[in-house]
Amino acid sequence: MFEAKLTQGSLLKKILDAIKDLVPSANWECSSTGVSVQAMDSSHVSLVSISLSSEGFDPFRCDRNIILGMETASLSKILKCASNDDSITVRAEESTDTVSFIFESPNQERVCDYNMKLLDIDSEHLGIPEQEYDAVIQMPSSEFQRICRDLTQIGDSVKINCTKEGVKFSAHGDLGDGNILLKQSASVDKEEDQVSIELNEPVELTFALRYLNFFTKATPLSAKVTMSLKEDVPLVLDYRIGELGNLK
Protein backbone atom coordinates (compact mmCIF):
# COMPACT_ATOMS: atom_id res chain seq x y z
CA MET A 1 0.00 0.00 0.00
CA PHE A 2 1.25 3.45 -0.97
CA GLU A 3 -0.47 6.54 0.32
CA ALA A 4 0.82 10.09 0.41
CA LYS A 5 -1.11 13.23 1.20
CA LEU A 6 0.11 16.61 0.07
CA THR A 7 -1.66 19.39 1.95
CA GLN A 8 -0.66 21.98 -0.61
CA GLY A 9 -1.98 20.21 -3.69
CA SER A 10 -1.17 23.16 -5.92
CA LEU A 11 2.49 22.11 -5.80
CA LEU A 12 1.75 18.89 -7.62
CA LYS A 13 -0.38 20.79 -10.12
CA LYS A 14 2.53 23.14 -10.80
CA ILE A 15 4.94 20.24 -11.16
CA LEU A 16 2.74 18.82 -13.87
CA ASP A 17 2.39 22.16 -15.60
CA ALA A 18 6.18 22.30 -15.61
CA ILE A 19 6.80 18.91 -17.19
CA LYS A 20 3.73 18.09 -19.26
CA ASP A 21 5.05 19.67 -22.48
CA LEU A 22 8.34 17.89 -22.15
CA VAL A 23 7.75 14.42 -20.79
CA PRO A 24 5.13 12.18 -22.41
CA SER A 25 5.19 9.54 -19.69
CA ALA A 26 7.20 8.76 -16.60
CA ASN A 27 7.72 6.30 -13.80
CA TRP A 28 7.00 7.74 -10.38
CA GLU A 29 9.17 5.70 -8.04
CA CYS A 30 7.87 5.55 -4.54
CA SER A 31 9.92 4.37 -1.59
CA SER A 32 9.93 5.00 2.12
CA THR A 33 12.10 8.09 1.59
CA GLY A 34 9.78 9.74 -0.88
CA VAL A 35 8.86 9.93 -4.54
CA SER A 36 11.20 10.46 -7.46
CA VAL A 37 10.93 10.71 -11.22
CA GLN A 38 13.55 10.57 -13.94
CA ALA A 39 12.34 10.94 -17.48
CA MET A 40 13.67 12.12 -20.78
CA ASP A 41 11.77 14.27 -23.20
CA SER A 42 10.60 12.59 -26.36
CA SER A 43 13.62 13.81 -28.36
CA HIS A 44 16.02 12.58 -25.68
CA VAL A 45 17.58 16.00 -25.47
CA SER A 46 16.80 16.72 -21.86
CA LEU A 47 16.21 14.89 -18.63
CA VAL A 48 13.64 15.83 -16.05
CA SER A 49 14.35 14.78 -12.50
CA ILE A 50 11.93 15.30 -9.65
CA SER A 51 12.51 14.35 -6.08
CA LEU A 52 9.93 14.77 -3.37
CA SER A 53 10.78 13.91 0.22
CA SER A 54 8.44 11.75 2.29
CA GLU A 55 8.66 14.47 4.93
CA GLY A 56 6.79 16.87 2.66
CA PHE A 57 3.73 14.59 2.88
CA ASP A 58 1.50 13.91 5.83
CA PRO A 59 0.67 11.12 6.13
CA PHE A 60 3.22 9.25 4.03
CA ARG A 61 3.07 5.51 3.92
CA CYS A 62 5.02 3.23 1.58
CA ASP A 63 5.02 -0.39 2.70
CA ARG A 64 7.08 -1.54 -0.22
CA ASN A 65 8.83 0.19 -3.12
CA ILE A 66 6.37 0.69 -5.93
CA ILE A 67 6.66 2.15 -9.41
CA LEU A 68 3.74 4.10 -10.80
CA GLY A 69 4.08 4.47 -14.55
CA MET A 70 1.90 7.36 -15.70
CA GLU A 71 0.97 9.15 -18.87
CA THR A 72 1.86 12.76 -18.14
CA ALA A 73 -0.99 14.20 -20.17
CA SER A 74 -3.52 12.05 -18.32
CA LEU A 75 -2.10 12.92 -14.93
CA SER A 76 -2.13 16.57 -15.85
CA LYS A 77 -5.76 16.36 -16.93
CA ILE A 78 -6.73 14.77 -13.63
CA LEU A 79 -4.80 17.29 -11.56
CA LYS A 80 -6.54 20.11 -13.41
CA CYS A 81 -9.63 18.85 -11.60
CA ALA A 82 -8.13 19.76 -8.22
CA SER A 83 -8.58 23.27 -6.88
CA ASN A 84 -5.47 25.12 -5.90
CA ASP A 85 -6.29 24.95 -2.21
CA ASP A 86 -7.26 21.29 -2.22
CA SER A 87 -5.13 18.68 -0.57
CA ILE A 88 -4.12 15.81 -2.84
CA THR A 89 -3.76 12.23 -1.69
CA VAL A 90 -2.14 9.68 -3.99
CA ARG A 91 -2.95 6.08 -3.21
CA ALA A 92 -2.01 2.77 -4.83
CA GLU A 93 -2.45 -0.79 -3.70
CA GLU A 94 0.28 -3.36 -4.05
CA SER A 95 0.21 -4.97 -7.51
CA THR A 96 -2.57 -2.89 -8.90
CA ASP A 97 -2.88 -1.34 -12.31
CA THR A 98 -4.53 1.86 -11.18
CA VAL A 99 -3.65 4.79 -8.96
CA SER A 100 -6.14 6.95 -7.06
CA PHE A 101 -6.07 10.67 -6.52
CA ILE A 102 -8.21 12.15 -3.78
CA PHE A 103 -8.80 15.90 -3.74
CA GLU A 104 -10.24 17.38 -0.56
CA SER A 105 -11.31 20.97 -0.14
CA PRO A 106 -9.96 22.76 2.96
CA ASN A 107 -13.34 22.58 4.71
CA GLN A 108 -13.71 18.90 3.78
CA GLU A 109 -16.99 19.70 2.12
CA ARG A 110 -15.97 18.41 -1.27
CA VAL A 111 -14.08 15.19 -1.83
CA CYS A 112 -13.12 14.12 -5.35
CA ASP A 113 -11.49 10.89 -6.27
CA TYR A 114 -10.05 10.07 -9.65
CA ASN A 115 -8.62 6.73 -10.67
CA MET A 116 -6.12 6.44 -13.46
CA LYS A 117 -4.76 3.44 -15.31
CA LEU A 118 -1.08 2.80 -14.84
CA LEU A 119 1.38 2.07 -17.63
CA ASP A 120 4.32 -0.27 -17.82
CA ILE A 121 7.14 2.00 -18.90
CA ASP A 122 10.60 0.67 -19.42
CA SER A 123 12.89 3.42 -18.35
CA GLU A 124 16.61 3.67 -18.69
CA HIS A 125 16.82 4.99 -15.17
CA LEU A 126 19.11 7.83 -15.91
CA GLY A 127 19.89 10.40 -13.32
CA ILE A 128 21.69 13.68 -13.09
CA PRO A 129 25.16 12.85 -11.77
CA GLU A 130 26.40 14.72 -8.75
CA GLN A 131 29.43 16.62 -9.91
CA GLU A 132 31.44 19.78 -9.69
CA TYR A 133 30.34 22.48 -12.10
CA ASP A 134 32.38 25.31 -13.56
CA ALA A 135 29.75 27.84 -12.61
CA VAL A 136 26.73 27.73 -10.35
CA ILE A 137 24.45 30.70 -10.74
CA GLN A 138 21.48 31.55 -8.61
CA MET A 139 19.02 34.10 -9.89
CA PRO A 140 15.35 35.02 -9.72
CA SER A 141 13.46 32.43 -11.72
CA SER A 142 11.21 35.09 -13.25
CA GLU A 143 14.27 36.97 -14.46
CA PHE A 144 15.61 33.87 -16.16
CA GLN A 145 12.23 33.20 -17.74
CA ARG A 146 12.10 36.76 -19.00
CA ILE A 147 15.61 36.50 -20.49
CA CYS A 148 14.75 33.31 -22.37
CA ARG A 149 11.48 34.75 -23.61
CA ASP A 150 13.12 38.00 -24.75
CA LEU A 151 16.02 36.35 -26.56
CA THR A 152 13.56 34.06 -28.35
CA GLN A 153 12.54 37.25 -30.20
CA ILE A 154 16.08 37.46 -31.53
CA GLY A 155 17.23 33.91 -32.22
CA ASP A 156 16.87 30.18 -31.65
CA SER A 157 19.76 29.64 -29.28
CA VAL A 158 21.41 31.47 -26.44
CA LYS A 159 25.07 31.62 -25.60
CA ILE A 160 25.62 31.77 -21.86
CA ASN A 161 28.91 33.25 -20.80
CA CYS A 162 29.70 33.30 -17.11
CA THR A 163 32.59 35.12 -15.52
CA LYS A 164 32.97 36.30 -11.96
CA GLU A 165 31.60 39.71 -12.95
CA GLY A 166 28.32 38.27 -14.12
CA VAL A 167 26.44 36.18 -16.63
CA LYS A 168 25.93 37.23 -20.21
CA PHE A 169 23.15 35.77 -22.34
CA SER A 170 23.51 36.36 -26.10
CA ALA A 171 21.42 35.54 -29.13
CA HIS A 172 21.57 36.56 -32.74
CA GLY A 173 19.29 36.27 -35.72
CA ASP A 174 17.99 38.00 -38.82
CA LEU A 175 17.04 41.29 -37.26
CA GLY A 176 20.27 41.71 -35.31
CA ASP A 177 21.55 40.47 -31.99
CA GLY A 178 20.84 40.80 -28.30
CA ASN A 179 22.94 40.54 -25.16
CA ILE A 180 21.76 40.57 -21.58
CA LEU A 181 24.29 41.05 -18.84
CA LEU A 182 23.34 40.12 -15.31
CA LYS A 183 25.76 41.38 -12.70
CA GLN A 184 26.31 39.59 -9.45
CA SER A 185 24.36 41.63 -6.94
CA ALA A 186 26.17 43.24 -4.06
CA SER A 187 23.31 43.38 -1.62
CA VAL A 188 19.65 43.34 -2.43
CA ASP A 189 16.78 43.87 -0.08
CA LYS A 190 14.97 40.71 -1.03
CA GLU A 191 17.09 37.60 -0.96
CA GLU A 192 15.07 36.07 -3.79
CA ASP A 193 16.00 39.00 -6.08
CA GLN A 194 19.65 38.24 -5.70
CA VAL A 195 21.99 37.11 -8.47
CA SER A 196 24.88 35.10 -7.07
CA ILE A 197 27.64 33.26 -8.87
CA GLU A 198 29.96 30.55 -7.64
CA LEU A 199 32.69 30.27 -10.22
CA ASN A 200 35.44 27.71 -10.59
CA GLU A 201 36.12 28.36 -14.24
CA PRO A 202 34.70 30.88 -16.70
CA VAL A 203 32.36 29.12 -19.12
CA GLU A 204 30.73 29.84 -22.44
CA LEU A 205 28.06 27.43 -23.58
CA THR A 206 25.20 27.53 -26.07
CA PHE A 207 21.72 26.08 -25.65
CA ALA A 208 18.51 25.86 -27.66
CA LEU A 209 16.00 28.42 -26.41
CA ARG A 210 13.24 26.02 -27.32
CA TYR A 211 14.24 23.75 -24.46
CA LEU A 212 15.07 26.52 -22.02
CA ASN A 213 11.57 27.83 -22.58
CA PHE A 214 10.21 24.39 -21.75
CA PHE A 215 12.28 24.35 -18.58
CA THR A 216 11.13 27.78 -17.44
CA LYS A 217 7.60 26.43 -17.23
CA ALA A 218 8.77 25.46 -13.73
CA THR A 219 9.01 29.14 -12.74
CA PRO A 220 5.81 29.13 -10.64
CA LEU A 221 7.38 26.48 -8.40
CA SER A 222 10.09 28.70 -7.04
CA ALA A 223 11.12 32.34 -6.91
CA LYS A 224 14.71 31.29 -7.44
CA VAL A 225 16.47 29.01 -9.88
CA THR A 226 19.95 27.59 -9.73
CA MET A 227 21.76 27.07 -13.02
CA SER A 228 24.83 24.85 -13.13
CA LEU A 229 27.18 24.99 -16.10
CA LYS A 230 30.13 22.94 -17.16
CA GLU A 231 31.91 22.37 -20.44
CA ASP A 232 30.65 19.29 -22.32
CA VAL A 233 28.01 18.59 -19.70
CA PRO A 234 24.32 19.36 -19.89
CA LEU A 235 23.11 22.52 -18.21
CA VAL A 236 21.14 21.91 -15.02
CA LEU A 237 18.33 24.11 -13.80
CA ASP A 238 17.25 23.40 -10.25
CA TYR A 239 13.91 24.65 -8.96
CA ARG A 240 13.50 24.11 -5.26
CA ILE A 241 9.94 23.17 -4.29
CA GLY A 242 9.74 24.57 -0.76
CA GLU A 243 10.60 21.91 1.80
CA LEU A 244 9.10 19.22 -0.39
CA GLY A 245 11.98 18.63 -2.77
CA ASN A 246 13.08 19.89 -6.13
CA LEU A 247 12.69 19.68 -9.88
CA LYS A 248 15.72 19.63 -12.15
Partner DNA sequence: GATGAGTTTC
Partner DNA sequence: GAAACTCATC
State the residues that interact with DNA by CB under 7 A: 20-21, 80, 84, 142, 149, 217, 220
Smallest separation, CB 145 to DNA (Å) = 7
DSSP letter at 60?
Answer: E
Smallest separation, CB 171 to a second copy (Å) = 9
Number of H helices, E strands in the chain: 4, 18
Name residues contacting a second copy, limited to 169-188 (CB under 8 A).
175-183, 185, 188
Any contact of residue 113 with a second copy (CB under 8 A)? yes
- Asked if 154 and 212 count as a contact pair (C-beta separation under 8 A), the reply is no
Smallest separation, CB 72 to a second copy (Å) = 11
Any contact of residue 93 with a second copy (CB under 8 A)? no
Any contact of residue 81 with a second copy (CB under 8 A)? yes
Question: Distance (Å, rounded) from C-alpha 235 to C-alpha 177?
Answer: 23
Exposure of 18 by Cβ count < 10 A (0-12 exposed, 13-18 middle, 19+ buried)?
Answer: buried
Any contact of residue 84 with a second copy (CB under 8 A)? no
Tell whether the torsion through CA atoms of 147, 148, 149 and 152 is positive or negative: positive
Cβ count near 241 (within 10 Å): 22
| Residues making contact with a second copy (CB under 8 A) | 71, 74, 77-78, 80-81, 83, 98, 107-117, 143, 146, 150-151, 153-154, 175-183, 185, 188, 195
